[in-house]
Structure 1
């Protein structure tokens, strides 16, 4: 399972890099429709999950835009430029990447420890936080606090106060999208559902008491965020 998660991250990055290169070199121009999911799966030799992850990241970075009932299209370059951040947000990018790097190490291990130490009540708290986020996504309401609660519940399930203290020190600002309110992805349902699905993989591993899978699921979650914010940095 660990190998699958790592492999999926690498494959998603390869799809992102190749599609982005086609867009930036003009092979795919503004308004062009991307191939369908099955066509992309065949072209890149990857699964539908990998394709959807890559498209979600390209969408969050402003390179593509889905049109309901029609497909996914290359975004207007002016629209992508319009995603430029405020000066405060731009200054936040390096710190955000550093924080994600730190969290990958700390929370990856926290998830592993929680997988074999969590009590039934603690597992229920993680599950409740995950369900709360799903309900907020469905209602179109802000999810940063619920996202933070999910990660805090995992820290608490380590039964090691230092994991809790570290995450509490950062507070909800540990959730990157809370620091970038001008980004469409902060309230984009498809993006938030992807984040929620990543949480679901972490929860599943903890519930199954599988430390290795829990560690890798958390690391994959953080790596996906790193990838998105690196792309964002390159656009500034």
Structure 2
């Protein structure tokens, strides 16, 4: 039986927490290779999708690195300083986490409403924003504006002006990575592919006119972002 997007996110968090603990305690040391995906699936009792989401987040946080054709390895200590944010970025983390929490409540419901209220034109606008983000990813260009366009298109599709007004008021801060230029993940193709895949799930639910699936997909998308920034905050020097 397929698990919900939110349940998958919770399982991914469990995998992240345990692998991170192994790295921090030295059970997995710099340069060590992580177990293969099938072994991680068996060890944690989760699906391959969950394992891949967890590895993607650990990679975005700089804790592991993939080596083509060989596997995933614990990052060497010299690469860790790249994760140290500027003072301005560090101060932004609490606000980012609060904003993501707020967005889960508002945008989750907006996605559900859009699933049964959107017009054909509005559905096309959401799909167009999604395609635009994919094209920018392939060109190696910033996807922040296209990401915002996607979320705004979902808000417009509610046909409720208050959802639109909220996103317009928040503005560029809606997309967290736009506030953290130091983060390597802002232009990391694997990370952006994961974000795009989450958008695809939201779009598919809206196209299928499935409000509950749309709600869960949007909440899972924002929960994944919240998880990444919590991990980022924990990695900063005290």
Offset of residue 37 of structure 1: 1.2
* 1:117 aligned residue: 117
Give the aligned partner of residue 170 of structure 1: 170
Which 10-residue stretch deviates more, 82-91 or 188-197?
A: 82-91
| TM superposition shift of 1:11 | 0.9
Q: Which runs of 4+ in 1 moved over 3 A?
A: none
Alignment partner of 1:160 is 2:156: no
Indicate the residue corresponding to 1:10 in structure 2. Answer: 10
Show the counterpart of 2:230.
230
Name 1:131's counterpart in structure 2: 131
* Secondary structure in 1 matching 2:181: coil
Q: Unaligned 5+ residue runs, structure 2?
A: none
Does the 8 Å CA contact 1:206/1:214 hold for their aligned counterparts?
Answer: yes
Offset of residue 90 of structure 1: 0.5
Distance 1:104 1:51 in 2: 23
After superposition, give the CA deviation of every residue in 1:34-85 in whole Å (9 maximum; x if it has no partner): 1111221122111111001000110111110111222111012231233100
Q: Aligned with 1:65: secondary structure?
A: strand
Matches within 5 A, 1:131-150: 131-150=131-150
Unpaired runs of 5+ residues, structure 1, are none
- Measure how far apart 1:195 and its partner are: 0.2
Cα pair 1:2 1:213 within 8 Å, conserved: no
Q: Secondary structure at the match of 2:66?
A: strand
How far apart are residue 173 of structure 1 and its match? 1.9
In structure 2, the CA distance between the partners of 1:97 and 1:170, relative to structure 1 (3 Å rule), is: same
- CA–CA separation in structure 2 for the residues paired with 1:223 and 1:140: 26
Matched, 1:188 2:188: yes
For 1:85, what is the secondary structure of its paired residue? coil
Higher mean C-alpha displacement, 176-185 vs 65-74: 65-74
**How many aligned residue pairs are there?**
236
SS at match of 2:4: helix
> Which position in structure 2 is the counterpart of 1:59?
59
Q: Name the counterpart of 1:25.
A: 25
Q: Distance in 2 between matches of 1:102 and 1:131?
A: 27
**In 1: Cα distance, 2:104 partner to 2:4 partner:** 18
Contact kept, 8 Å, 1:130 with 1:200, in 2: the verdict is: yes
Residues in 1 aligned to 2:167 and 2:214: alpha-carbon distance in whole angstroms = 18
SS of the equivalent of 1:136 reads helix
Within 2, Cα distance between the matches of 1:225 and 1:75?
A: 22
State how far apart, in whole Å, the 2-side matches of 1:79 and 1:150 are. 33
Partner of 1:94: 94
Q: 1:151 and 2:155 equivalent?
A: no
Distance 2:45 2:6 in 1: 16
